[in-house]
Amino acid sequence: MGYDGAMAVERRVDTVMVDQRAGAFSRRSIKTDSKAAGLRLAISMLDLTTLEGKDSPEKVRSLCRKAMRPYAGDLAPPVPRVAAVCVYPSHVRTAARMLAGSGVHVASVATGFPSGQYPLDVRLRDVSAAIEAGADEIDMVINRGAFLAGRTTEVAEEIRQVWQACEGAHLKIILETGELETYQNIRKASDLAIEAVASTGVLRDGEVFIKTSTGKISPAATMPVTLVMLEAIRDHFLSTGVRIGMKPAGGIKTAKQALHYLVMVKETLGEEWLTPDLFRFGASSLTNDLLRQLLKILTGHYMAMHDFSEA
Amino acid sequence: MTSVDSQSSGPAGWDYSPAPERTRVPIKDEYGLFIDGAFRAPKSRRRFETINPATEEVLSRVSEAGPADVDAAVEAAKAAGPGWARLKPAERAKFLFRLARRIQERSRELAVLETMDGGKPIKESRDVALPLVAQHFFYHAGWADKLSYAFPGRTPKPVGVCGQIIPWNFPLLMAAWKLAPALACGNTCVLKPAETTSLTALHLAEILQEIELPPGVVNIVTGAGETGAAIVDHPDVKKVAFTGSTEVGKHLARSVAGTGKKLTLELGGKSPNIVFADAAIDQAVEGIVSSIWFNQGHVCCAGSRLFVQESIADEVIDKLAHRMRSLRVGDPLDKNTDVGAINSSTQLKTIERYIDAGGDEGAILHEVNDQPLPEKGFWCRPCFFTGVQPSHVIAREEIFGPVLSVMTFRTPEEALSRANNTPYGLAAGVWTNTGSKIFEIARKLDAGVVWCNTYNKFDASSPFGGFKESGFGREGGLQGLRAYVRL
């Protein structure tokens, strides 16, 4: 590519056309075979998540069970397993034990999730502890206070240190877009996060994700916000050939919404990104709606919600 | 399409299944002329076929109005005039409100018909055209009893019988643009749709019957150029409104000269779309897509000349090519189609002639969209040219198809002089994140409409019309009322 990389000039984002483009994806009509394939694909991209103070080992175990076998009934072909289970560091060991050998990844939030308002050494120890307990994916939060105050170098340096602390575990960088508010900020934070990790050396595809939200702040993921982040990922790919992953999290509750996100990824980044290695949904209640819609296609009728197991 | 294997995490293909619009529209085998509130067989005894440009199937046979038919239509409009003009303005408003509501209620049917007869994607008929049609009648219903506020201190009176000739690119929307202000101001109308797209106007006539609009207030006569000429030349027609090609517009201006008839013309364009280096590039690319590939480029204000600042030209062209590949070309009735069929074989030949001319003059054709096209019907893949010089025919003449000419510039002054170097002056687009530059450039562009950081946005309250050979007079908004009143 003959043009400068993403950070050479601050990338401009214009709200009106972002909203217009994002709106267009939800007017695609996904029916029959493509709907069934899309629903299965979406299930395989789920990061099943529980992030509550009252989480118990029992709840984490049932989440893991759900992750490995989302639907208890028999279907041909079987419903795919989900991509990962995402928990607090204190529950990583339980999850890792349950999921060993299943192919489902163990993701842990860390770095003082959700606020990130802790000294850097505490945040880095949080990462190391989660990895020692068996996490192979770390969902970090960026320092929004520093970002909004304009201390972007500090934010980038912290991201670099967290990435180095990951030691081979994959990293998802949560921007907490609900606190950044403007699309311009979201674009700037996306570029900053990607550039920070890329500056440490050559990245492999899917090693690093950018992620919208913690799920603790409203609004969480939206289509336009995700589009702005996908465009940052695309620009990085166009200038380096490296594929960064994307994870919208929070607020995606229906199968229909999930399909619209897949449409957006397909039409913005291309079908190479339609894999759990490069795209994830951070959600939990979404799972059963995906299953319900899939079974509707296969059986012709809607099943009751109690036919599907909770988490 | 491959399904997702439960245990694989590799890339998987995922495409959209066909999603055809299933609403069935009752289309009659043949249609009469709508004169004096009723459908009548043409005195000319001539009919012509109207086809679906996506399948080449004959949809119906439409009447060709001869001079005697046009006489009858104008006579009916003239006879209905005094009664309609005397009606309390609030009552006229009620008819327009009723019309707008009925259009909304039948909007799916009308959208499907618009797509079948004209070739535009159902997505655009349904989400763009029909909502704007309804809005145009709602908006003008509001004006009917407030005209004295539109022209303070004056007493606006109707002009009389309005002869209105509309094009095939937005058949129903152009009918709305013509009829709504005329009716709100107390005039009566003789409307002629384009010969390739008569059907939605004829279904609109059915709606006029349903809402019990007084007979003769709106008459709809179908036919080609001769029918249009008969309307324009009719001595009892007091006002002519035409949307179409500059060539025909010039002819109309000559034939109306000296007759005392009022005239508004909305003609062709070769609108510049200027992208500065400090623009939001991804959004500008979206804007380029909607400026030239919307409605297959059959848009008079299409941004068919793209000027990109030199430093971002490579990036914009790369991204444009990437985005073009995702455009879905094909069956206009499929809800996922982005680019539909070319309206007629005549228009397709014109477009192909221009594409050939572009290559012959040395411009480089980029036809990156490689989707398979249906075997029957009239199709043109969206494409763009680089290496275009301002003297090339593809940079000067209106193509009216999905063909974009890309040029570059270094300085704002250069962008302006190139943008204005055209006989046309209909619309323009400016893309920059710098507010002061928007005002600076927009002020100096010779264009009736300037869109800033967006393109092809329409609203009933916003006047639309051109300068230079793009015509004169405005449609929509307060300004659009002026052509339909005597002060």
Residue B19 lies in a domain: no
Judgement on whether residues B150 and B42 belong to the same structural domain of the protein: yes
Residue A35 lies in a domain: yes
Which CATH number fits the domain that encloses residue B445? Answer: 3.40.309.10
Between residues 233 and 252 of chain B, which touch chain A (CB distance below 8 Å)?
A: none
Amino acid at the residue B94? K
Residue B9 lies in a domain: no
> What is the SS3 string spanning chain A?
CCCCCCCCCCCCCCHHHHHHHHHHHCCCCCCHHHHHHHHHHHHHCEEEECCCCCCCHHHHHHHHHHHHCCCCCCCCCCCCCCCEEEECHHHHHHHHHHHCCCCCEEEEECCCCCCCCCCHHHHHHHHHHHHHCCCCEEEEECCHHHHHCCCHHHHHHHHHHHHHHHCCCEEEEECCHHHHCCHHHHHHHHHHHHHHHHCCCCCCCCCEEEECCCCCCCCCCCHHHHHHHHHHHHHHHHHHCCCCEEECECCCCCHHHHHHHHHHHHHHCCHHHCCCCCECEEECCHHHHHHHHHHHHHHCCCCCHHHCCCC
B127 and A27: CB-CB below 8 Å? yes
Please determine, for residue A6, whether its predicted confidence score (pLDDT) is greater than 90.
no
Judgement on whether residues B90 and B228 belong to the same structural domain of the protein: yes
Q: Average pLDDT in the B416-441 region?
A: 97
pLDDT in the model for residue A9: 63
Average pLDDT, chain B: 96
Touching check for B436 and chain A: CB below 8 Å?
Answer: no
Residue B25 lies in a domain: no
Residue A228 lies in a domain: yes
A158 CA to chain B: closest CA distance, Å? Answer: 28
Residue B17 lies in a domain: no
Size of interface A-B (CB pairs under 8 A): 115
- For residue A280, the enclosing domain spans 15-297
pLDDT tens figures, A46-80: 999 999 999 999 999 999 999 999 998 888 889 99
| Residue B128 DSSP code | I
Evaluate whether A242 touches A203 at the Cβ level (below 8 Å). Answer: yes
Judgement on whether residues B36 and B98 belong to the same structural domain of the protein: yes
Q: Does B300 qualify as catalytic in the annotation?
A: yes
Judgement on whether residues B477 and B452 belong to the same structural domain of the protein: no
Touching check for B454 and chain A: CB below 8 Å?
Answer: yes
Between residues 266 and 285 of chain B, which touch chain A (CB distance below 8 Å)?
A: 278-284
pLDDT tens figures, A80-104: 999 999 999 999 999 999 999 999 9
Give chain A's domain count: 1
pLDDT tens figures, B52-111: 999 999 999 999 999 999 999 999 999 999 999 999 999 999 999 999 999 999 999 999
Evaluate whether A181 touches A15 at the Cβ level (below 8 Å). Answer: no
Enumerate the residues of chain B whose CB falls inside 8 A of the CB of residue A40: 3-4, 6
Q: Average pLDDT in the A225-244 region?
A: 97
Touching check for A69 and chain B: CB below 8 Å?
Answer: no
Evaluate whether A280 touches A242 at the Cβ level (below 8 Å). Answer: no
Enumerate the residues of chain A whose CB falls inside 8 A of the CB of residue B313: none
Please determine, for residue A239, whether its predicted confidence score (pLDDT) is greater than 60.
yes
pLDDT in the model for residue B12: 58
Please give the helix or strand (H or E) that residue B384 lies within, else none.
Answer: strand B383-386
Residue A179 lies in a domain: yes
Q: How far is CA B182 from CA B85, B478, B482, in A?
A: 11, 13, 10
Judgement on whether residues B310 and B375 belong to the same structural domain of the protein: yes
Judgement on whether residues B230 and B312 belong to the same structural domain of the protein: no
Residue A305 lies in a domain: no
B438 CA to chain A: closest CA distance, Å? Answer: 14
Touching check for B1 and chain A: CB below 8 Å?
Answer: yes
Chain B interface test: which of A16, A26, A233 (most B C-beta within 10 Å): A16
Residue A19 lies in a domain: yes
Judgement on whether residues B317 and B452 belong to the same structural domain of the protein: yes
Give chain B's domain count: 2
pLDDT in the model for residue A3: 42
- For residue B420, the enclosing domain spans 272-460
Q: Average pLDDT in the B297-302 region?
A: 97
A36 CA to chain B: closest CA distance, Å? Answer: 8
Chain A interface test: which of B6, B386, B454, B456 (most A C-beta within 10 Å): B6
A271 and B282: CB-CB below 8 Å? no
Enumerate the residues of chain B whose CB falls inside 8 A of the CB of residue A267: 326
Judgement on whether residues B242 and B386 belong to the same structural domain of the protein: no
Residue B4 lies in a domain: no
Enumerate the residues of chain B whose CB falls inside 8 A of the CB of residue A29: 16, 19, 335-336
pLDDT tens figures, B139-196: 999 999 999 999 999 999 999 999 999 999 999 999 999 999 999 999 999 999 999 9
Confidence bin at A5 (pLDDT 50/70/90): very low
Residue B422 lies in a domain: yes
Q: Does A66 qualify as catalytic in the annotation?
A: no
Distance CA B408, CA A102 (A): 55
Enumerate the residues of chain A whose CB falls inside 8 A of the CB of residue B3: 36-37, 40, 77
Residue B249 lies in a domain: yes
Confidence bin at B116 (pLDDT 50/70/90): very high
Structure tokens at B479: 């300004």
B292 CA to chain A: closest CA distance, Å? Answer: 16
Q: Does A247 qualify as catalytic in the annotation?
A: yes
Confidence bin at A223 (pLDDT 50/70/90): very high
Distance CA B481, CA B486 (A): 10
Residue B20 lies in a domain: no
Dihedral (CA of B26, B30, B35, B40) sign? negative
B284 CA to chain A: closest CA distance, Å? Answer: 8
Judgement on whether residues B384 and B314 belong to the same structural domain of the protein: yes
Instruction: Identify the active-site residue in B266, B397, B469, B475.
Output: B266
Between residues 95 and 134 of chain A, which touch chain B (CB distance below 8 Å)?
A: 103
Residue A143 lies in a domain: yes
Judgement on whether residues B84 and B98 belong to the same structural domain of the protein: yes
Which CATH number fits the domain that encloses residue A43? Answer: 3.20.20.70
Distance CA B446, CA B416 (A): 9
